[in-house]
Amino acid sequence: MESVAKEKYLKGKIEESYEQLETMFDEEDEDENFYIMKRNTITKRRRMESAEGGLVEIERFKSCSRTLTQSSQQSTIKFNLHVDSTYEQLLTGEVQDMSFKTSNVLAYKSSDFNSLLNKMFNKLLSEEAQFISKKSGRPIMFEEGDDDFIYFKNYKNTQRIPIVIYADFECILNPKQPDKFIQSSKKPKTCITHLHKLMSYGFYLTSPSFVPIFFHNLTYDSHFIIRELGCNDKDIHVIPNSSEKYISFSKEIAPKFNIKFVDTYRFMAEKLSKLAKNLSEDKLKFRETIKVFSIKVLDLVTRKGVFPYEYVDSWSKLDEPFLPSKLDFYSSLSDENITDDDYVHAKNVWNIFNIKTLGEYSDHYLKTDVAILADVFENCRDLCLSSLELDPAHYMTAPGFAYDCMLKYTKIELERLKCSNMLLFIENSIRGGITQSTKRFAKANIPNIKGLNYNSIEPIKWITYLDCVNLYGKSMLTELPFKDFEWVDDLNIDVTKIADDSEVGYILEVDIDYPKHLHKTHNDFPFLPLNECPPNSKVKKLLTTLLPKKNYIVHYKNLKQAISHGLKLVKIHRAIRFSQKKWMASYIEFCTKMRTEAKNEFEKEFWKLLINSVFGKCMENVRTRTSIKLVSSEKKANKLMAKTNFKDRTIYSKNLMAIHQHKETIKFDKAIYVGSAILDVSKTFMYDFHYNVMKKKYGKQISSLYSDTDSLIYSIQTVNFFDDLKNDLLPYFDTSNYPKDHYCFSEIHKGQPGMFKDELKSIILKEFVSLRPKLYAYKTIDDTVEKKAKEILNAFITHKSVEEKQSHRNMNFIQSNKHVVHSKTMNKLVLSANDDKRYIMNDGINTLAYGHYKLTK
């Protein structure tokens, strides 16, 4: 009886919401530019049979006139509300006794959506939120314990959040007349090409001091929400990356009850189309989509659709009774059009669902997007709860979630550093991955290979692109610091006699000398990289140099390795001693095992993410956190601006202001010594492979072309690299990605952290060219070209252009200013041969590490 009463209550609330909607259009709007006049007509609700067999309720609000204060002209606002009434949801956790039917997919469309957002969305959600808040009780809070240690405390997060919302936005791109500029101009210039205006949104209700609302790529969608959060003076909380980009934000709806906006892209950093494809191997995984669409059309709706974003530049386009041509799906952002298969899929959707207008197609596209997002993340939640007993819906990012998973699984207690000098000491030991272009061009020369022009005069030469499997995971399997940190009084420490698996480890500050006789041998990959400014530069970069090191802070394993290869320890200035053990190994082994047993690509990628994300959280720099507060009342704004830590303010609208503040205190609650150790130990594996495997095998016949953290590209003079691999190198390689009929194929080391893989899966490289770190291209024997350029879309680069010294291109991108979104075009320097991380020789190909004795002549 109680469940029936609650169901009746919610149905009553839905009925009330329709009455509220009618009232909205009779009320005056407070906006200074216009006010809403009395509606002309509101049609009756009617139930319609949808193409997929479900019942859909349509509410149309039509011909609502609007008068502008600055113009006597009137315009018509069209507002469509689509409510699917077939959804049934069982709430779990603290409200598991509640079972009721409610609407599951809602799509709203309006040319004046910004004003409707705070009126409709917040009102409707707050009604349901207050009901859940009253009935579900409050979560149990656990005592955090002793602050001397970092350990798992968030036991409340083991409970599944019973209600979550998945949402998405679609926009109309209003074209703007761009400024004229010459494409070949060498002076960078940016112009606005489109204004992004919100067209529609949809959300999926599938929870109880807060309700999370999940968007995929909230970085974009958030701009349309932020400016409307000032609809009342309720509290707004943001976790910012910058004034324009937020990790998450929340809005108080009722006392002690918030809606929290979370980005699923921060858990699954892939396009929704790829996530859906990875999940599509098992159709039963799409349980939420099946509730919305008939199982007969499941293959059609579980594939990510396509939409002509740039074609829809006005509301009139949405009334067109035909599907735009394939050319109209072109995207200037990627400089690509959709494939023939994509267009055939769009036509099938149009026909099978009996779509009448482009507006209906937009609604269907939005509806399937939200349903797919719900299924993808719900499967992610299921996986985490069943295997790790934590719900990622409680978290805002994958690193935060993975960090708690690790603490919970290992039951480790990590000592919290409270000595400021020790903290600064370890902060200065942190150095990222090594990225450098060592030899900027190479060409393979192999006989009897189709696609290669073999030159018998030149030596036989192979190019190999090798990647270390789960490099950081390999480091996390080793001994890591966890407690008993103390300064060492007796500095007579012989690191060469300390075992790698010792129960006691060290981080030392030392002076190191690099003997000249090692320069030629070590030029490709010098030991002990250092963050410093290259010559004639003011920007610090991680450089591998042959220069002496002064006051260099390093993990004892790296120092021990460098000394074993000939570097000279001159002096030890300071040292920290700590206890270490393989306390994270059990978690890494568990994730690796789960990845090996994964049934689809989605699960494989997710378990990989849970390993890499732990490292990211261990490395978090709390100093860089910014403090921004959003306020919607003059009283709160004045109070914050009067504080001594006030920095700046940004006005978004008449009801919303961002207050930028200097952080008054910094709470160092992360075990950064773990991240420092992982980074340093990972470098020992790369150096060990280079010097003790590849250099030992090939000697002077091998040269490094390029390296990037966990990858190495080599040029090797050898008769047949695959023969070498089969006979000598297989103990160090995972060749499970080779074709099964390849004579080097083996699954013995499949997925094993620390093994090396052929990135091209046995395909032979023909040519490699690199201008600088993060900017290179290579060509295979079938003339396939792969291009890598950080922050530059591959569409703007050709293999030939990489060989140029400089190249400018017009780049299209999306940018916001005070959360108003525009498409822009910039004439940008996309390719540059200026590389100051090493000294480039006169031939433009070979390089020398700084400090090389040849540079002092």
Beta strands in 93-222 (DSSP E): 99-101, 105-110, 149-150, 165-175, 189-205, 210-215
pLDDT band at 690 (very low <50, low <70, confident <90, very high): very high
pLDDT confidence of residue 711 = 96
User: Range with the lowest mean pLDDT among 364-368, 390-394, 595-599?
Assistant: 595-599
| Closest residue by Cα to residue 209 from 242, 173, 241, 256 | 256
The predicted pLDDT at position 134 comes to: 43
Pairing mode, strands 99-101 and 414-415: unpaired
Distance CA(27)–CA(635), nearest Å, equals: 27
Q: Which residue has the higher pLDDT, 127 or 828?
A: 828
Examine the pLDDT at 822 and tell me if it is beyond 80: no
104, part of any domain: yes
pLDDT tens profile 105-159:
555 555 555 554 554 445 444 444 444 444 444 333 333 444 788 888 887 888 7
Q: What is the CA radius of gyration of the chain?
A: 30
Q: What is the DSSP string of 393-405?
A: GG-SSHHHHHHHH
**Does residue 822 belong to any structural domain of this protein?**
no
pLDDT at 708 over 70: yes
Q: In 3D, which of 654, 670, 671, 666 has the Cα closest to residue 627?
A: 666
Does the pLDDT of residue 615 top 60, yes or no?
yes
Q: Quick one: pLDDT band at residue 177, thresholds 50, 70, 90?
A: low
* CB 736, CB 554: distance < 8 Å: no
**d(C-alpha 766, C-alpha 808), whole Å:** 27
* Mean pLDDT of the residues in the chain: 79
Global pTM exceeds 0.75: yes
Q: Tell me: pLDDT of 211 over 50.
A: yes
5 band by pLDDT with thresholds 50, 70 and 90? very low
Long-range pairs, 788-793, Cβ under 8 A, ≥24: 789/830, 789/831, 792/828, 792/830, 792/831, 793/333, 793/334, 793/335
Strands 504-513 and 568-581: antiparallel
What's the number of domains the chain is made of?
2
DSSP strand pairing (210-215 vs 165-175): parallel
pLDDT single digits (tens) 543-598: 999 999 999 999 999 999 999 999 999 999 999 999 999 999 999 999 989 988 88
- How far is it, in rounded angstroms, from Cα 307 to Cα 186? 35
Is the separation of the CB atoms in 852 and 839 below 8 Å?
A: yes
pLDDT digits (tens, 9 = 90+) for 284-321: 788 888 888 888 888 888 888 889 988 888 888 889 99
Q: Residue 203 falls within a domain, yes or no?
A: yes
Give the domain extent around 641: 626-661
Query: In whole angstroms, what is the distance from residue 841 CA to residue 853 CA?
Result: 14
HSE-up (13 A, CA, CB side) for residue 490: 3
Q: Does residue 71 fall inside a structural domain?
A: yes
pLDDT > 90 in the chain, percent: 43
Is 695 or 204 the better-scoring residue by pLDDT?
695
Span 612-617, average pLDDT? 88
Strand partners, 260: 212, 250
Residue ending a domain, among 661, 686, 716, is: 661
Percentage of residues in the chain having pLDDT higher than 70: 75
Domain assignment present for residue 144? The answer is yes
**Average pLDDT of the residues in 660-677:** 87
pLDDT over 50 at 36, yes or no: no
Spell out the residues 6+ positions from residue 774 whose beta carbon is closer than 8 angstroms to its own.
435, 708, 788, 789, 790
Per-residue pLDDT of 401-411, as tens digits, reads 999 999 999 99
Looking at 396, 427, 448, the residue that finishes a domain is 396
Examine residue 803 and state whether it is found in any structural domain, yes or no: no
* pLDDT, position 107: 55
* pLDDT over 50 (residue 28): no
Burial 630-652 (b: 16+ CB within 10 A, else e): bbbeeebbeebeeeeeeeebbeb
The tokens describing 813, both together, are: 């991108």
Residue 689 included in any domain: no
Q: Would you place residue 222 in the very low, low, confident or very high pLDDT band (cuts 50, 70, 90)?
A: confident
Query: Strand 756-758 and strand 462-468: pairing?
Result: antiparallel
48 pLDDT band, cuts 50/70/90, is very low
> What's the 3-state SS for 324-381?
CCHHHHCECCCCECCCHHHHHHHHHHHHHCCCCCHHHHHHHHHHHHHHHHHHHHHHHH
Higher pLDDT, 821 or 468: 468
pLDDT on residue 697: 97
Judge whether 36 lies within some domain. Answer: yes
Q: Is the pLDDT of residue 840 over 60?
A: yes
- Cα separation, 707 vs 464, whole angstroms: 12
Give residue-wise pLDDT tens across range 747-768. 999 989 999 999 999 999 999 9
Of 661, 681, 711, which marks where a domain is finished?
661
Q: List Cα–Cα distances, 628 to 246, 324, 778, in angstroms.
A: 10, 43, 44
